[in-house]
């Protein structure tokens, strides 16, 4: 099958060289290399002609060019080695990119930008998720672009080249302590503490003194307590079950990590709804956590009791917001621990048996 | 071809490439004790069982020339311009050292293979 309409089959070589030239940087060195490649191809054609005893057809020349390779590939081999970020800098680039995107940008969007957007959209969750994800995508794109640009500049300027000279073994970080498993005693203590907490919780409705102390004389538990009492009791029971399973099945190394993360997620949802419920004011009467006992409403000290109730309510709300933040941070740490565990397990399962035995 | 055997072939090809890289430099320098141009050099290497494609040879020649191991000259032969290469005096010295090193590696490797 003829592949060319040209009358001179050797023109195919010039066309081939032209195509290779297109992919090469325009400088004298590359022109020199091209001239040598052209000479090499012509020598091959010449030798084939003397072997066959006739001038080569377009198809026969095509065969020689095909053997040489596609123009773009040949240019990539002839041209200088080019990369935006070289092998020396690439591991650092990858590390920085992961750190910024996964451990800075994502938590910032989940724990700061997300709640701020939720507030600005008046609690519209659907809109908040869409807006936050959209902003996260643009933020990640811009951050990745800036990091790549900075590393490309470092690569070009060889700013990292003198690191090897300045490197000092004494500046190496200390050995990491081996991963410490949660001790048996610690789990027992946690279990005992939670059982005690559950008993306390179950007694509180009939003995409010256990939570309000002497203030029971003029304060009583507010509406939030009644709304969230059952979920709090259920969560405490779930924690006790989790700790009991962790004790009974100590060989399940991943169980404490993911079950604790699940518990944190449920706690986060619960605390979130408690804060939201505390924000609602019924006819200007804001007593979400504690309210004035019925028996002292006509007392002379009513104003003083109202002030105390307000202080307690505000303090509890601040405490609840603090708890929400703490649980968020705890959740981030637990996620990190779980990911570390998964990665470690994967790398162990991929290692050859001889290495695992060490 | 299954994924496993494909991966094995790829590993083998990469290792072969690494093994060949140093040997090719040595072979090219040795061949250029006599002046040659690119195509005849490729042919000489192929005749001795060491095939090398254009995309590998010409950048290698240019690198060796930049390192001062080769000298080159464009000259007309058979009505065509060709670039002729030969070893420079520095190249001759380095080649002697490299051949000595090669002999040492070869002896060690033979010993290791006999012991295995």
**Is residue A159 very low, low, confident or very high in pLDDT (cuts 50, 70, 90)?**
low
Task: Calculate mean pLDDT across residues B12-23.
Answer: 89
**Model pLDDT, residue A163:** 62
Q: A286 is written with which tokens? A: 């804001």
- Chain B residues whose CB is inside 8 A of the A69 CB are 53, 55
**Is residue A353 very low, low, confident or very high in pLDDT (cuts 50, 70, 90)?**
very low
With a pLDDT cut of 70, the percent of chain A lying above it is 89
What is residue A286's DSSP assignment? -
Specify the fold of B3-115: Arc Repressor Mutant, subunit A (1.10.10)
A221 against B25, higher pLDDT: B25
Q: Tell me the domain boundaries of chain B.
A: 3-115
- Which of B53, B59, B82 comes nearest A39 by C-beta? B82
Determine the 3-state secondary structure of B83 from DSSP.
Answer: strand
Would you tell me the crossing angle of helices A28-52 and A58-68 to the nearest 10 degrees? 130
Determine the 3-state secondary structure of A285 from DSSP.
Answer: strand
Q: A254 is written with which tokens? A: 């991943």
A218 against A70, higher pLDDT: A70
Residue B38, judged by CB atoms within 10 A of its CB (0-12, 13-18, 19+), counts as buried
Q: What distance in Å separates the CA atoms of residue A58 and residue A255, rounded to the nearest whole number?
A: 70
- Highest average pLDDT, of A70-79, A84-93, A318-327, B42-51, comes from B42-51
- Highest average pLDDT, of A79-93, A116-130, A234-248, A268-282, comes from A234-248
Asked whether the beta carbons of residue B39 and residue A40 sit closer than 8 angstroms, the reply is: yes
List A residues 16-35 in contact with B (Cβ-Cβ < 8 A): 29, 32-33, 35
Q: A3 is written with which tokens? A: 């592949």
- Chain B residues whose CB is inside 8 A of the A76 CB are 55
A86 against A94, higher pLDDT: A94
**Ranges A93-102, A138-147, A178-187: which has the least confidence:** A178-187
Q: How many whole angstroms from its chain centre is CA B37? A: 14
Short-list A44, A43, A24, CA closest to A34: A24
Candidates A17, A28, A31, A33: best to mutate against B (most CBs of B within 10 A) is A33
ipTM: 0.79
Neighbours of A69 (CB within 10 A): 16
Q: What distance in Å separates the CA atoms of residue A84 and residue A150, rounded to the nearest whole number?
A: 11
């Amino acid at each position: 099958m003829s592949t060319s309409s040209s009358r001179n089959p050797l023109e195919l070589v010039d066309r081939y060289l032209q195509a290779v030239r297109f992919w090469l940087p325009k400088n004298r060195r590359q022109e020199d290399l091209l001239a040598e490649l052209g000479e090499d191809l012509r020598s091959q054609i010449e030798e084939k002609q003397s072997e066959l005893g006739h001038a080569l057809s377009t198809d026969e020349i095509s065969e020689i060019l095909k053997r040489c390779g596609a123009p773009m590939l040949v240019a990539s081999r002839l041209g200088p080695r080019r990369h935006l970020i070289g092998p020396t800098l690439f591991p650092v680039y990858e590390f920085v990119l992961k750190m910024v995107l996964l451990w800075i940008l994502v938590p910032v969007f989940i724990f700061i930008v997300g709640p701020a957007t939720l507030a600005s959209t008046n609690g519209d969750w659907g809109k908040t998720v869409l807006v936050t994800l959209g902003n996260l995508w643009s933020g990640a794109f811009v951050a990745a672009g800036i990091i790549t640009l900075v590393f490309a500049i470092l690569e070009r300027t060889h700013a990292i080249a003198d690191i090897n000279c300045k490197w000092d073994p004494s500046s190496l970080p200390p050995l990491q302590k081996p991963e410490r498993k949660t001790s048996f005693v610690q789990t027992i203590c946690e279990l005992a503490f939670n059982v005690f907490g559950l008993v306390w919780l179950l007694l509180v409705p009939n003995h409010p003194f256990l939570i309000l102390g002497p203030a029971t004389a003029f304060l009583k538990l507010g509406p939030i307590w009644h709304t969230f009492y059952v979920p709090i009791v259920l969560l405490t029971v779930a924690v006790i079950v989790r700790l009991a399973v962790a004790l009974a099945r100590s060989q399940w190394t991943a169980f404490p990590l993911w079950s604790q993360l699940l518990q944190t997620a449920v706690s986060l949802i619960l605390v979130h709804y408690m804060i939201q419920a505390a924000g609602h004011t019924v006819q200007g009467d804001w007593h979400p956590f504690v309210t004035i006992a019925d028996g002292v409403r006509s007392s002379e000290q009513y104003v003083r009791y109202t002030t105390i109730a307000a202080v307690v309510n505000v303090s509890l709300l601040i405490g609840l917001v603090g708890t929400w933040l703490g649980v968020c941070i705890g959740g981030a740490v637990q996620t990190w621990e779980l990911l570390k565990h998964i990665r470690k397990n994967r790398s162990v399962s991929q290692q050859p048996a001889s290495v695992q035995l060490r | 071809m299954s994924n496993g055997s494909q991966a094995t072939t790829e590993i083998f090809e990469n290792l072969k490439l690494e093994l060949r890289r140093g040997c090719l430099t040595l072979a090219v320098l040795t061949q250029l004790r006599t002046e040659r141009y690119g195509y005849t050099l490729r042919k000489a290497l192929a005749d001795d069982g060491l095939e090398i494609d254009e995309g590998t040879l010409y950048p290698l020649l240019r690198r060796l020339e930049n390192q001062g191991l080769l000298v080159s000259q464009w000259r007309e032969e058979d009505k065509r311009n060709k670039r002729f290469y030969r070893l420079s005096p520095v190249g001759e010295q380095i080649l002697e050292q490299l051949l000595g090193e090669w002999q040492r590696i070869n002896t060690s490797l033979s010993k290791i293979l006999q012991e295995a």
